[in-house]
Chains A and B, each alone.
Chain A
Amino acid sequence: MTRAAAAAAADAADATAAPDTRAAVSVRALRRTFRTTGRGSGLFTGRLRGRRRDEDTGERVALRGIDLDIAPGEVHGLLGPNGAGKTTLCKILSTVLLPSSGTVHLLGHDVAARPAAVRPLIGIVFGGERGLYERLTARQNLLYWACLYGMSGRRLAERSEELLEQLGLGAHADERVERFSRGMKQRLHLARGLVHDPPVVLLDEPTAGMDPVSAHGFRDLVRALRAEGRTVLVTTHDMAEAEAVCDRVTLIDRGAVVASATPAELGAWAAESERVTARDVPPGVLTQLSALPHVTAVPPDAQGRTVLRVGEGGDAAAVVRLLLDAGVRELATSRPGLEEVYLRLIGRRGMEVAR
């Protein structure tokens, strides 16, 4: 049996797993492949470009049998590097892309078999500046999209006004979108995704382009959505954001789930103990520190900042003492955050795009 056939057989077996009927979103053995144009061994085939493809079948695998359950009212973060499969999963959930195999249920409806039942239940916010009618005003955009979701009359007008005000666009409601900044467009995207009052909200990198103040405002908005009982799936690269708003996070990489837990559980699991951050550590001291049991030193960054990880059984106090004795005065100890977990699980791969 070839590797591809074995994978397909495994997928078929997994696909029989029943969805969790209590979950707002239930994903089982979800696999999605894309046909690639560069088959064979031409100059521009995947191997020469360093891409990972199943060349026997001329396919690129975007999702490799994902299982995921999101409880009603949960804010769930989907984290992963570029090309990990986050947007592919979002597109399948939003019914614009069909799975190659496996199932996805949203509030009990199969998104592939019953898209018409799913569409009114989900609000979608695709990230980026695109996706709006630039020559229309914010209000005209919002009213139009709301009509496509079956809204009308007083409810439509009230909801549109409410969202424009809530997202800080009230004063700009009658300006054309082409004059908007990237952040303002992003807010209008958010309004569009929420205008029909959906029980499930899908946010695909919603703060891309927002300034820090607006991004904080976004966190308040997500908390408000949770307080209203909505289920939220948010994809992001912003670890602080995920840590701040998500009840649970799932890390995916190369189309597979790497870990799924609360941010606190992931932090505790990935870094059993503590880390010490120090500046301008003399090289000799760094060598001494690295020699201590269960201590790992990351080489200094451009600002001269060194991170020392103290694993289970290590003595963080000894690390701090050694640093102070060496005259290092700028240091801090902390528990690892989600960013640390992400980097440890996904790895440091620089600018490489996982495919």
Chain B
Amino acid sequence: MRPPGAPRAVRDARAAAAAFRVQLLLVRRSVGDLRVLFTVPLYALIFLAIAAVSGDRSLTAYAVLAPGLIALWSMMLFAAGDLITQDRSAGRLEAVVAAPVPLFTVVAARLAAVAAVSLISLAEAWAVARWVFGLRVPLVHPMAFGVGLLATAFAMTGTATAMACAFVLSRSARIFQNSLSYPVYLLGGVLMPVSALPGWLRPASRLVFLTWSGGLLRDSLATPAVADLPGRLLALTALGLAGFAAGGWLMRRILTRVRAAGTLGLA
């Protein structure tokens, strides 16, 4: 008998890697979890067709990126809710909470895996543009695009982690999931430019990470140099960190509450 004695940070990092791998395995074995990826080509067809009809070439970047960003948000939103809900209904949540590694670490790592998988959606949209519309959408600033994508995945994981932690308290995560899709797409400038929003709403869009990532990724596809790259990356990182911090705080508070109320395992 020897209880594990690795330092806590090392232990948590290993557990996070295991949770990441497990989530990839679970996603691979569940077509349902990948349903959003099946809709991406359809969204890409619609948006690229609109851009083609308008004759405005500047809309092509919007049309290619929008399905990817929609898929990214949508997959993460559903994963954030389903991860807790499914673990709870399958009787796993209590066992995970009873383990030494914090639930927050497990949830964040699993959502990071979903974020990694969701990036496939961008390749799908690119493929539709190339093979259906014959459009080449070059990565004019590949470095900016790459780090922008990483920062987007980080911010998305942070935001989703905060939501998932809140869903520990809720037994009806699906209601929140359903109400947080299109409003966020509009606010984040995914479907149309933020400049088209009413003036009073624009400041709120600065708090949505999609605003920053959408702008940064679109600019990295255009010829002019990407303006204020460090500042935009910093904004994305800060929003991601804020999500993780909020998630950590919420998780501690909510776990104490459900352990006291005896509702942790109730589905």
Assess whether B1 is in contact with A150, with CB atoms less than 8 Å apart: no
Distance in angstroms between the alpha carbons of A143 and B18 in the assembled complex: 8
Assess whether A147 is in contact with B95, with CB atoms less than 8 Å apart: no
Assess whether B264 is in contact with A135, with CB atoms less than 8 Å apart: no
Assess whether A131 is in contact with B92, with CB atoms less than 8 Å apart: yes
Further 5 A-B residue pairs, CB within 8 A, beyond A35-B261, A150-B101: A126-B91, A126-B95, A135-B26, A147-B18, A150-B14
Q: Nearest 5 A-B pairs (CB), nearest first?
A: A130-B91, A150-B4, A147-B18, A148-B99, A150-B11
- Residue of B4, B26, B264 near A149 (CB, 8 A) is B4
Assess whether B260 is in contact with A98, with CB atoms less than 8 Å apart: yes
Contact with A along B90-127 (1 / 0, CB 8 A): 11101111111100001000000000000000000000
Contacts of B4 in A (CB 8 A): 120, 149-151, 196
Assess whether B99 is in contact with A131, with CB atoms less than 8 Å apart: no
Contacts of A119 in B (CB 8 A): 98-100
Known contacts A120-B3, A151-B4: A145-B99 contact under CB 8 Å: yes
Contact with B along A116-135 (1 / 0, CB 8 A): 10011110101010111111
Contacts of A96 in B (CB 8 A): 94, 97-98, 259, 264-265
A197 at interface by CB-CB < 8 Å? yes
Closest to A121 in B: B3
Chain A nearest CB, measured from B29 CB (Å): 4
- Residue of B22, B262, B264 near A144 (CB, 8 A) is B22
- Residue of A35, A140, A198 near B25 (CB, 8 A) is A140
Chain B nearest CB, measured from A26 CB (Å): 19
Closest to B95 in A: A131
B positions within 8 Å CB-CB of A: 1-6, 11, 14-15, 17-19, 22, 25-26, 29-30, 90-92, 94-101, 106, 256, 259-262, 264-265
A95 at interface by CB-CB < 8 Å? yes
Assess whether B15 is in contact with A136, with CB atoms less than 8 Å apart: no
Assess whether B95 is in contact with A98, with CB atoms less than 8 Å apart: no
Closest to A134 in B: B90
Assess whether A150 is in contact with B6, with CB atoms less than 8 Å apart: yes
A94 at interface by CB-CB < 8 Å? yes
Assess whether B3 is in contact with A197, with CB atoms less than 8 Å apart: yes
Assess whether A131 is in contact with B90, with CB atoms less than 8 Å apart: yes
- Residue of B18, B98, B262 near A95 (CB, 8 A) is B98
Chain A nearest CB, measured from B36 CB (Å): 18
Chain B nearest CB, measured from A103 CB (Å): 16
Assess whether A97 is in contact with B30, with CB atoms less than 8 Å apart: no
Distance in angstroms between the alpha carbons of A148 and B18 in the assembled complex: 8
Number of interface residues of A (CB under 8 A): 42
Assess whether B15 is in contact with A135, with CB atoms less than 8 Å apart: no
Assess whether B92 is in contact with A148, with CB atoms less than 8 Å apart: no
Chain B nearest CB, measured from A145 CB (Å): 7
Distance in angstroms between the alpha carbons of A148 and B94 in the assembled complex: 13
Distance in angstroms between the alpha carbons of A18 and B19 in the assembled complex: 40
Distance in angstroms between the alpha carbons of A131 and B18 in the assembled complex: 18
Contact with B along A190-202 (1 / 0, CB 8 A): 0010001111000
Assess whether A198 is in contact with B1, with CB atoms less than 8 Å apart: yes
Assess whether A150 is in contact with B100, with CB atoms less than 8 Å apart: yes
Distance in angstroms between the alpha carbons of A120 and B1 in the assembled complex: 11
Contacts of B264 in A (CB 8 A): 96-97
Contacts of A133 in B (CB 8 A): 22, 26, 90, 92
Assess whether B259 is in contact with A98, with CB atoms less than 8 Å apart: yes
Chain A nearest CB, measured from B186 CB (Å): 35
Contacts of A229 in B (CB 8 A): 1
- Residue of A124, A130, A144, A197 near B98 (CB, 8 A) is A124
Distance in angstroms between the alpha carbons of A121 and B5 in the assembled complex: 11
Distance in angstroms between the alpha carbons of A91 and B264 in the assembled complex: 11
Contacts of A130 in B (CB 8 A): 90-92
Distance in angstroms between the alpha carbons of A166 and B154 in the assembled complex: 42
Distance in angstroms between the alpha carbons of A89 and B17 in the assembled complex: 33
Among A94, A147, A152, A230, which residue has the most Cβ atoms of chain B within 10 A?
A: A147
Closest to A148 in B: B99
A44 at interface by CB-CB < 8 Å? no
A34 at interface by CB-CB < 8 Å? yes
Assess whether A144 is in contact with B19, with CB atoms less than 8 Å apart: yes
Distance in angstroms between the alpha carbons of A122 and B95 in the assembled complex: 12
Contacts of B22 in A (CB 8 A): 133, 136, 140, 144
Contacts of A140 in B (CB 8 A): 22, 25
Assess whether A116 is in contact with B100, with CB atoms less than 8 Å apart: yes
Contacts of A121 in B (CB 8 A): 3
Chain A nearest CB, measured from B264 CB (Å): 6
Distance in angstroms between the alpha carbons of A131 and B90 in the assembled complex: 6
Known contacts A120-B3, A131-B90: A149-B99 contact under CB 8 Å: yes
